[in-house]
Amino acid sequence: MERNRPVGTPFREGDYVVLAEGTYPGTLGVFLRLKEDVNWADIADRSGVVRSHPVAWLEHAGATIPPAMTSERTTPQRLRRLNRNHNARVSEQQH
């Protein structure tokens, strides 16, 4: 994939997404942010672990979200906390 050339993401922070392609198709998660290479995004899985995936592999999860995805692990407050923690780790690694 070409770096820093957006694929035109329709996703916003907090959107429920599913991996439509790749190693683990069908995996549910929550869209957090685009990476520096805007063709990649950080996704929080059901357990709150943040992983990076190509944006081209993502689709909106649809109207039916499994109960496990709406637990405390993926509340907006938890996502903001995950974002802050992730950003702090990245900042520490850059210095």
pLDDT of residue 32: 92
Residue of higher predicted confidence among 15 and 93: 15
Domain 16-94 belongs in CATH node 2.30.30.40: yes
pTM listed for this prediction: 0.62
For the chain, the domains span: 16-94
pLDDT of residue 1: 47
What DSSP state is assigned to residue 86? H
pLDDT of residue 25: 87
Confidence of residue 26 (pLDDT cuts 50, 70, 90): confident
Buried b / exposed e along 25-46 (16+ C-beta atoms within 10 A): eebbbbbbebbebbbbbbbbbe
> Could you read off the pLDDT of 40-84 as tens digits, one per residue?
999 998 788 899 999 999 998 875 555 555 555 556 666 666 666
The DSSP H or E segment spanning 43 is strand 40-44
